[in-house]
Amino acid sequence: MEPVRRQQLIEATLQSVAELGLQATTINSISKKAGMSSGIISHYFGGKQGLIEATVRYLLSSLQRSLLHKTAQGCSPEQRLMFIVEANFAVVQQQSDTTRTWLSFWAHSMHDAQLHRLQRVNARRLYSNLLYSFKQLMAQGEAREAAELSAAMIDGLWLRAVLSKADDAQFDSAQDLAKRYIQSLIQQFGV
């Protein structure tokens, strides 16, 4: 029963944060959405904080899993870079907007040590995923700069799309810009 309930509560949390924001998300708003009692949260997660943290961990591993799945049967470095962009933008894919949920969590990470650790993992992972492929296309020094710039461009396009409450078409357009930017980096620095 435990793994089922944990998953249900995590999904209810995602829904509640997407809808109300982290600020207005309470154990009541979550448990009501999950169709359970409020006490169950403390029972399975030790408290609200534990559930929030588990939810972020779930998002993180989803992102990672989606990238691994796309690159499972090998691909070229260029293609892998495009997959990284897709994975990072496709956080939207699932029902409702998980995007604003990420933003809530990252903003909160500035004042929460545990969440900040998770944020750091996420930022470094994007960078090293990019670096790995760039290194196969250019010298190490250029690859590092390309990875840093690409990471910033992806996050920046994503952030501006989220904040302006962009629709799917606008998200796709931002994703295209990110891809074209990476291709221009390859052309500029590639051997």
- Among positions 36, 54, 103, 186, the unique one binding DNA when judged by CB under 7 A: 36
For 5, the enclosing helix (H) or strand (E) is: helix 2-20
Chosen from its own copies, DNA, none, partner binding at 104 (C-beta under 5 to 8 Å by type): its own copies
* Distance of closest approach, residue 141 Cβ to its own copies, in angstroms: 14
Sign for the CA dihedral angle at 68, 90, 116, 5 comes to negative
Chosen from its own copies, DNA, none, partner binding at 177 (C-beta under 5 to 8 Å by type): its own copies
Binding window for DNA (CB under 7 A); candidates: 1-9, 125-133, 142-150, 152-160: 1-9
List Cα–Cα distances, 162 to 50, 99, 155, 179, in angstroms. Answer: 26, 7, 10, 18
What secondary structure letter does DSSP report for 165? T
Nearest to 77 by CA among 149, 125, 126, 134: 134
Chosen from its own copies, DNA, none, partner binding at 157 (C-beta under 5 to 8 Å by type): its own copies
Nearest to 150 by CA among 133, 170, 169: 133
Q: What share of the chain is helix, strand, coil (3-state, %, to 5)?
A: 80, 0, 20
Q: If binding is defined by CB under 7 A, does position 10 make contact with DNA? A: no
Could you say which residues in the range 147-176 bind DNA, by CB under 7 A? none
| Of 69 and 124, CB closest to its own copies | 124
Query: Which residues of this chain interact with its own copies, rule CB under 8 A?
Result: 20-24, 100, 103-104, 106-111, 116, 119-120, 123, 145, 148-149, 151-157, 159-160, 162-165, 174, 177, 181, 184, 188
